[in-house]
Amino acid sequence: MDNTNIITITDLTRIFKNKTGWFSPTEEVTALNNVSLKIKRGTIFGLLGQNGAGKSTTIKILTTLLLPTSGNVLIDDLDVTKDYKEIRKKINFIFGGEQGVYKRLTPLDNLIYFGNLYKVNTHTLKKRIPELLNQVDLYDVKDRLVENFSKGMIERLQIAKGLINSPSILFMDEPTIGLDALSVRKIHGLIKNLNDHGTTIVLTTHYLKEVEELCSSVAIINKGNLVAKGTPDEIIEKYATKGNDLESAYISIIKGDS
């Protein structure tokens, strides 16, 4: 495996300015505070933390949807603030929980639409779309309206959508939220398969078993600060108190930091 860093985050800070009321002063929320992190090419990387920790903010910055307040982010040596057009060709993202696909369209029409949006040429799309539909087990329902689909089917369609431009990095924000055990297993199979074929995956999740199952490296953020990073085994070794699992380590990290 190529061992270089595909993502380098240096001193990343993101501050949101919220208006608390019509006449009230603006309140500043530091969603990310001086975070530095490296993600190796070809890995499945997990970003963990409590609700509001700053995970989605990180994903949005890495996917060029949100600008940093300060600091520096390189994706494959390209800068998120300057080279976003180039970066967008190489990446894709999936936000869990039924967002991001058109429910009044069929899976086929969704994929044609997003394929065109990513400027994938028609010849490639004609080959790629049936392959993707098969890969996510939706070929047989490709002509049905998405509005009647289950959460698991929609999540699998999101994955097909996320692969429409053959990205080298796929970002997934809570990809298995609200899914049943069998649907989760299918999604995990897809993620592993993609990774086996060389795609770097960066995901956020609240499910620590999912992290143990999938991720070779993790980072834990708490209230915008990076508080731990390493392989799941390293983190367990260093922080687990009761039991020998990531959940125990995670809880002691978060409790120790608050």
- State which residue, 115 or 224, has the beta carbon closest to Mg ion: 224
Task: Find the shortest distance in angstroms from Cβ 57 to Mg ion.
Answer: 8
Closest CA to 166 of 203, 140, 127: 127
- State which residue, 125 or 172, has the beta carbon closest to Mg ion: 172
Is there binding between residue 56 and Mg ion (CB under 5 A)? Answer: yes
Residue type for position 59: I
Instruction: Work out which of 16, 102, 113, 139 binds ligand ATP, going by CB under 6 A.
Output: 16
Cα distance between residue 237 and residue 92, in whole Å: 33
Q: Is 153 helix (H, G, I), strand (E, B) or coil?
A: helix
Per-residue burial over 57-96, b = 16 or more CB atoms within 10 Å of its CB, e = otherwise = bbbbbbbbebebbebebbbbebebeeeeeebbeebbbbbb
Instruction: Work out which of 19, 27, 29, 241 binds ligand ATP, going by CB under 6 A.
Output: 29
Task: Find the shortest distance in angstroms from Cβ 171 to ligand ATP.
Answer: 12
Task: Find the shortest distance in angstroms from Cβ 47 to ligand ATP.
Answer: 8
What binding mask, one character per residue, do residues 32-71 give for ligand ATP by CB under 6 A, x or -?
A: -----------------x-xxxxxxx--------------
Q: Are strands 70-75 and 5-19 parallel, antiparallel or unpaired?
A: antiparallel
- Residue 255: Cβ-neighbour burial (10 angstroms; 0-12, 13-18, 19+): exposed
Q: Give phi and psi for 216, each to the nearest 5.
A: -90, -20
Identify what 175 binds: Mg ion, ligand ATP, none; CB under 5 to 8 Å per kind: none
- State which residue, 51 or 148, has the beta carbon closest to ligand ATP: 51
Count of residues in contact with ligand ATP, rule CB under 6 A: 12
Task: Find the shortest distance in angstroms from Cβ 192 to Mg ion.
Answer: 23
- State which residue, 52 or 256, has the beta carbon closest to ligand ATP: 52
Residue type for position 90: K
First to last CA, the chain: 38
Identify what 117 binds: ligand ATP, Mg ion, none; CB under 5 to 8 Å per kind: none
Identify what 207 binds: Mg ion, ligand ATP, none; CB under 5 to 8 Å per kind: none
Residues in the chain: 258
> Which residues are near ligand ATP by CB under 6 A?
16, 18, 29, 31, 49, 51-57
